[in-house]
Amino acid sequence: MKKNKINKQLSISNWQRAIGKGQLAKEKRKFAYCLLLIAYCFSTTAQTLTLDSVLNRIENNHPMLKMYDEQIHALKNTSQMAKSWMPPTFSTGPWQTPYKSFRDGMWMFTGEQMIPNPSKQKANYNFMHGMTAVEQTGKSVKRNEMFAMAKQNYYEWIVLKKKYDLAVQTDSLLNYILKVAQNRYTYNKEKLNNIYKAQADIFELRNMETMFLGDMKMKNVELNTLMNTEKNFSFEIDTTLLPHNYEIQNPDTALITSSRSDVKQFDASIKVAKLQQQYEKSKRLPDFGVSFTHMQTYSVMPMPNLYSAMALVTVPIVPWASGEYKNKINGLDNTVKAINFQKQALINETAGTIASLQTQIISAKKQLNNYKDNIIPAYYKSYQISMIAYEQNTEDLFVVLDGLKMYRMAKINEMEQLKTLLKLQTEYEKEMEIR
């Protein structure tokens, strides 16, 4: 009996030494962790960016969108060339000059100027200027894609922050449970393996906290990249989430057509094709020109100076010249039909995608409400009851730790469901091009 008592005292002594060493190492890690957390919080409290502010910065600063602006300006400037004329032509040289007697000839000066048909110029200008609308809608399509990426990263950051706050809260609860267990072990009312299990849960939780902090920093960098700002620029986010009832909306074909920039891009492409067709038809019209020639004599014999004035006109309707624009006009008819079919396919696909997203949003909301109203309260009550029983020495520590872990996992599953819902809403907003 005395030997068993000595062995038990030695076991308690060894455990206390181990706990002491572990406690010292834990305190050092907690101190370093707190410094990291303080530095992170200090760097991120400087500024809070709402989602709308992030989207504004992307719209104003992203190089890809600026590229579209330059391309639009380039097309506008290029379209002005349609109003220009062909350059005049000047020529000079001997005219009707005998090989054997150069001085018996004359010296000729010729100037020619082609005058373009105004209707052709106007048709060409309208065609070239119409391409700016295609680029403008292309910019809107790209901007919508970037906005969707930004929203996804922003919402994922919000969920990560909620998960991190939950981990910190659970960390505090586990530390309290561990202290209670250590006190009870002193009076032989707790098992050593359960205490080590609680310590392992705490260290595992610390890993999760570190992972959440790293993931939040990654989302910060991804948003900085989209905003075209410094990659180490740290900011806070607005965690206020406004619910959207997209599942009750009924967007028809007209609303889809008026909302989506890629559908408008098809309309702009059809308009450009028709303007190009008008320009090709204008090639049937003639162009005009004038030519003036002066012959200067340099012979010793008296000869009068001569001149020639001519009017020029092109005849593009001849069979060997008209084939080019006629075939082009027929080909553009096929192009317009192809774009119309492509537009109809996109509208049909979008309508199907929206219906599918609405069904998934309904399901995600039901699951999320089930977590909030039933699953999480049940797990929390289970943990509370087990903790009360443990404090009254009628329950085992393992049951308390398991109850807390199940509650934490249910909360994380709820946040994953929230992440799924936000992703579905982002996809809906992308499909309907809602900012």
pLDDT, tens digit (0-9, with 9 covering 90-100), for 361-392: 999 999 999 999 999 999 999 999 999 998 88
Residues facing residue 114 across a β-bridge: 289
Query: 385 in a domain, yes or no?
Result: yes
pLDDT > 60? residue 152? yes
For the purposes of burial, counting CB atoms within 10 Å of the CB of 19, is it exposed (0-12), middle (13-18) or buried (19 or more)? middle
pLDDT-based confidence at residue 45 (cuts at 50, 70, 90): low
pLDDT > 70? residue 396? yes
Q: What percent of the chain has pLDDT over 90?
A: 67
Given its phi and psi angles, is residue 98 left (phi above 0), alpha (psi -120 to 50 degrees) or beta? Answer: beta
Query: 236 in a domain, yes or no?
Result: yes
Name the one residue in this structure whose structure tokens are 């990654």: 218
SS3 content of the chain, % helix, strand, coil (to 5): 75, 10, 15
Side-chain-side CA neighbours of residue 395 (13 Å): 18
CATH number of the domain to which 147 belongs: 1.20.1600.10
Classify 138 as helix, strand or coil.
helix
Query: 332 in a domain, yes or no?
Result: yes
Q: What is the pLDDT of residue 33?
A: 53
Is-contact 401 201, C-beta < 8 A? yes
Q: What is the pLDDT of residue 242?
A: 79
pLDDT > 60? residue 339? yes
Query: 2 in a domain, yes or no?
Result: no
Query: 34 in a domain, yes or no?
Result: no
Query: 197 in a domain, yes or no?
Result: yes
Q: Could you please report the per-residue DSSP string of 39-91?
A: HHHHHHTT-EE-HHHHHHHHHHH-HHHHHHHHHHHHHHHHHGGGGPPPPPEEE
pLDDT > 60? residue 41? no
Residues constituting the chain: 435
Classify 206 as helix, strand or coil.
helix
Query: 54 in a domain, yes or no?
Result: yes
Q: What is the pLDDT of residue 189?
A: 83
Q: What is the pLDDT of residue 30?
A: 52
Q: What is the mean pLDDT of residues 17-30?
A: 46
Dist. CA 210–CA 158, nearest whole Å: 16
Query: 4 in a domain, yes or no?
Result: no
pTM (2 d.p.): 0.81
Q: What is the mean pLDDT of residues 245-265?
A: 90
Q: What is the pLDDT of residue 16?
A: 42
pLDDT > 80? residue 17? no
Contacts of 111 (CB under 8 A, 6+ apart): 88, 89, 90, 291, 292, 293
- Residue pLDDT, tens place only, 176-214: 999 989 988 888 888 888 899 999 999 999 999 999 999
**Residue 207 C-alpha from the chain's centroid:** 31
Q: Which domain holds residue 419?
A: 46-432
- The mean of the pLDDT values for the chain is 87
Nearest to 142 by CA among 224, 71, 238: 71
Dist. CA 110–CA 389, nearest whole Å: 113
The amino acid at residue 220 is N
CA distances from 393 to 182, 300, 390 (A): 14, 138, 5
Q: Domains in the chain: how many in total? A: 1
- Range from 42-51, 279-288, 405-414, 424-433 carrying the lowest mean pLDDT: 42-51
